[in-house]
Amino acid sequence: MDAARFNEIVERYPALRIAVVGDFCLDRYLEIDPTKQETSLETGLPVHNVVNVRAQPGGAGTIVNNLAALGIGAIFPLGLIGEDGEGYELCRALEGLAGVQSRHMVRTPHRHTFTYCKPLMVEPHKPPVELNRLDLKNWTPTSTWLQELLATQLLEVAAQVDAIIVLDQVGIPETGVVTRKVLAALESLVETRPGLLVLADSRRGLRGFPPVVFKMNAAELSALTGMPGELSPAQIEAAAVDLARRNGRNVFVTQAARGMLGATPDGQTHCTPALPRRGEIDVVGAGDAVSANLTVAMAAGATLSETLELANAAASVVVHKLGTTGTADVPEIRRLAVSPGNS
């Protein structure tokens, strides 16, 4: 991509208004200094001394982090937060991001704030080492009245935005934000506003989602289409084209080291290879950076190939940020996306 076209696309970002609907969580990092290890007098077990605590939005919040890093003008998170300390930290972290308007977040004493607690061994001149994670989740179904409230909030926020990103992060159906009632509201929304850009991603797969832009990995595509085993590149392309035609929306498939493929309803496809590794990598957060950049690029009028190129560059930036769920800003993406000699 040349610099002029890159600038033309990214200069539209500050005017965009984007909603992020889904499972927000708190990423809490506990940085441990291994030189300060002690032994508990009471239990005889090792004691890990935490020397620094970092908290940032995770899950759907990682998408919000990326949108803020890109300079999106207005960002509307929509999800559930518990009335607990983790909820306080998450709200404070979200509201500290440029462009974020958090009035559609639902606070309730009936849900825990979804939390990933990540202990990290941190030593000078070494990559951080993550220990066993400690998670706080909700194990019971989201109540009907909360689902209805979320559905109402979805319809309200949709009237204010250029695009919506939906992230289903929980492992157990109906325990998070993206429940049957919320999906029904989303289906009604895309029927009444067919021109609204909506991109969806779900760790449990997109079966049962209305026809929106689907973003998934190759294994999720295989499960969705009922094609067993590891799919070949030709099978992935054919399945993505068929799905895009049936949905009437673009389909994007991430393929790890093989890069990303996009397919349009009219049968157009493009594959962008992954960029070379530039050292140690940590893939946490790369998928959410891709979701954010795919959506933003499409909303800004990028072509299929340009959209993939920008999202691919963002993913490459993020995987090289160690010990955190990273983001990619416009200057970082520019360094990878703009062709040498065209800057």
Closest C-alpha among 163, 162, 142 to residue 151:
142
Nearest to 89 by CA among 63, 64, 115, 118: 115
Query: At 47, which amino acid appears?
Result: V
Q: Is the CATH number of domain 3-24+59-111+139-337 3.40.50.10420?
A: no
**Cβ count within 10 A of residue 144:** 10
Q: What is the pLDDT of residue 292?
A: 97
Helix, strand, coil percent values for the chain (each to nearest 5): 35, 25, 40
Residue 286 DSSP one-character state: H
In the chain, what are the domain boundaries? 3-24+59-111+139-337
Longest pairwise C-alpha distance within the chain: 68
Phi, psi of 30, deg, nearest 5: -110, 110
What letter would DSSP give residue 274?
P
Say which residues have a Cβ less than 8 Å from residue 15's Cβ, sequence separation at least 6: 73
pLDDT for the residue numbered 343? 54
The three-state secondary structure class of 11 is: coil
The DSSP H or E segment spanning 81 is: strand 80-82
What is the pLDDT, as a whole number, of residue 342? 58
CB distance 23 to 115 below 8 Å: no
Q: What is the mean pLDDT of each run of 10 residues along the chain (343 residues)?
A: 95 98 96 94 94 95 96 98 96 95 95 96 91 96 97 96 97 96 97 96 94 95 86 93 96 92 96 88 86 98 97 93 86 91 58
Phi then psi dihedrals of residue 232, to 5 deg? -75, 165
Quickly count: other Cβ atoms within 10 Å of residue 254's Cβ.
Answer: 24
For the stretch 167-193, what's the b/e string if a residue is b when 16 or more beta carbons lie within 10 angstroms of its beta carbon?
A: bbbbeeeebbbbbebbbebbeebbeee
